[in-house]
Structure 1
Amino acid sequence: MKIFTMIASISAALCVALGAFGAHVLEGKIPERYMDTWQKAVQYQMFHTIGLFIVALLATKWPNVTPAGWLMVVGIVFFSGSLYVLSLTQIKILGAITPFGGVSFIIAWLLLAYVAMKQM
């Protein structure tokens, strides 16, 4: 589906920009703990951006894979998004949102496996 290719492309560009922002702007301005959190957000966003590209490719043959793609989008927003905001604001309660994104990622990958099994 074109929508997942577009979202994944934008997300990949954001990963590069946010990674560079962290390395060149935030370095030394926020505590090391939050730099690690920022980098974890970038890393997981990129992993799941690649997952979105995979979903986009599979969706041409397996249309029922699209819910997995949307769960990856939700996961990126809640997991990585909450970690970005947490790193910048250092408001620890924001970390309570992160697990919702993590669960979305897990369900997305399991759903992808389920769809693949049904295609056998």
Structure 2
Amino acid sequence: MNNFDKKILITATLLAAITIAIGAFGAHGLKNLVDEASIRSFETGVRYQMYHVIALVIIGFAGGISESTRQWVFRFFILGILLFSGSIYLLTLKEFIPFNSKFLGPITPVGGLFFIMGWLRLCYGIIKIK
């Protein structure tokens, strides 16, 4: 049995590259498109995405954590990234997207809840280690 989870590590490294690209777009491409408050919000999405990508890399390599814990944390963090960071990106660009974005506001805290659930599931998995 491997001491690492290849699927989590591949996903995390690809997400890290995507996060850098999204962050570069936010730092350079948004200046002339949106106001400063929107840029700060966008940066929050990028920051939280990268925090959780780094956590996934660590979890992917972590020994002693059960496969069940790894998979649940992976799922929760991916949902958190999609809903929390993704909704912030779309809300920042709402005037440029071709659909009604009002439904996105309530999605952001749901994504945050998935982040919290992932951390709590990781805590539970660590407590269960004998």
With structure 1 as the length reference, what TM-score do the two structures score? 0.92
Matched, 1:70 2:93: no
* Distance in 2 (alpha carbons) for counterparts of 1:61 and 1:97: 30
1:106 maps to what in 2? 116
If each structure's helix is expressed as a fraction of its own residues, which one has the higher value?
A: 1
Unaligned runs of 5+ residues in structure 1 are none
Equivalent residue in structure 2 for 1:11, among 8, 15, 23: 15
Write the mapping of 1:84-95 to structure 2, written as runs, cut at 5 A.
84-89=89-94, 91-95=101-105
* Distance in 1 (alpha carbons) for counterparts of 2:15 and 2:119: 18
RMSD between aligned residues: 1.5
With structure 2 as the length reference, what TM-score do the two structures score? 0.85
1:29 maps to what in 2? 33
CA displacement at 1:28 relative to structure 2? 2.9
Which AA in structure 2 matches 1:70?
R
Aligned-residue sequence identity (percent) comes to 38
CA displacement at 1:60 relative to structure 2? 6.9
User: Considering only CA atoms, is the larger Rg found in Structure 1 or Structure 2?
Assistant: 2
Unaligned runs of 5+ residues in structure 2 are 96-100
* Distance in 1 (alpha carbons) for counterparts of 2:93 and 2:63: 36
Equivalent residue in structure 2 for 1:53, among 57, 61, 70: 57
